[in-house]
Amino acid sequence: LFVVVSISVSCLLFFLLKEEITQEEGNNSATSLGSSVYNYNSSTPSSSVVSKDLRKMKVVAVPCWSDNYAYLLIDEENKVAGAVDPVEPEKVNAEADKLGVKIVAVLTTHHHADHSSGNQGMADSHPGINVYGGDDRIPALTKKVGDKDQFSIGNISIQVFFTPCHTRGHVLYYATHSSSSPSIFTGDTLFIAGCGRFFEGDAKQMNYALNKVISSLPDDTLVYCGHEYTVTNLKFAKTIEPENKDVLSKLEWAEKKRKNGEQTIPSTIGEEKKTNPFMRVKERSVARGAKLEEGANE
């Protein structure tokens, strides 16, 4: 299975590299990569990094199906929450009840069933709730959003980024609060150490999403993705950059986490710039690992 996945992901990386090279040839500019805010030299990262109790803004992951994540984005001050991709409404509602918060919105990253098929159930259990999304194919949609649209959940500000590629209506939700670290919900665009398949888009769009939109956000932004693919992605990243110490240490960390039945989310944007080959397409080592040496910048 890993061999099949690696071949498929290698194709994605190849197209991203080619797209980046084409853009660089056009504008003859390069963007420096940010530094990591993680330390994976121990079995347990810094609590300040992995903690999901973000002062007044809290994120709770709700594992769904075989490897999906739904999330509760909670305003602790007002005890209200947005449910991100709540594919199993019963689980998400039960978690909200346990935490004593009221779900006031559904945030859908894209229309695929493993992210949106719980929307009608959420609408039925929360009459009048707003269901946000960027695609008319999303079930129970009440608020269609586009790039740079903004709304709020209690005192949490949400900004939408339109990132078509995985699907033509995929969006990201960037959440900020005055007293908390920012968070971004990336659905199937950005995974930890990986990216989504180009079902309805191309490399140019994915490159823009990863290396223009997402990479421009603060490095301490916490990344909450749609699936638990971390170990497989890092194994692939290791084949591309076998001497990348950040990749090696994070892979060791992730394997221990999964062996213990623990989640590997969140990551940070800074960490992805150090370990995710799809956000490192300007690096010579990535071009060399993808057999595209001539495309790398010095």
CB atoms within 10 A of CB 25: 9
* Residue 114 appears among annotated catalytic residues: yes
* Residue 126 appears among annotated catalytic residues: no
Q: CA 251 to CA 201: how far, in whole Å? A: 29
Select which of 110, 126, 170, 177 is catalytic.
110
Select which of 75, 85, 111, 115 is catalytic.
115
* Residue 85 appears among annotated catalytic residues: no
Select which of 111, 112, 126, 170 is catalytic.
112
Under 8 Å between Cβ of 148 and 161:
yes
Q: CA 181 to CA 149: how far, in whole Å? A: 20
Select which of 111, 126, 166, 177 is catalytic.
166
DSSP class of residue 227 equals: B
Q: Over the range 167-203, which residues count as b (16 or more CB within 10 Å of their CB) and which as e?
A: bbbbbbbbbbbeebbbbbbbbbbbbbbbbbebebbeb
* Residue 177 appears among annotated catalytic residues: no
3-state secondary structure of 159: strand
DSSP class of residue 164 equals: -
The residue type of 23 is: Q
Q: Would the CA dihedral through 215, 269, 134, 73 be positive or negative?
A: negative
3-state secondary structure of 58: strand
Under 8 Å between Cβ of 252 and 94:
no
Select which of 75, 85, 135, 188 is catalytic.
188
Under 8 Å between Cβ of 191 and 227:
yes
Q: CA 131 to CA 134: how far, in whole Å? A: 10
Under 8 Å between Cβ of 281 and 211:
yes
Residues recorded for the chain: 298
Select which of 114, 147, 149, 220 is catalytic.
114
Select which of 111, 170, 177, 227 is catalytic.
227
Q: CA 212 to CA 219: how far, in whole Å? A: 13
Residues forming the active site: 110, 112, 114-115, 166, 188, 227
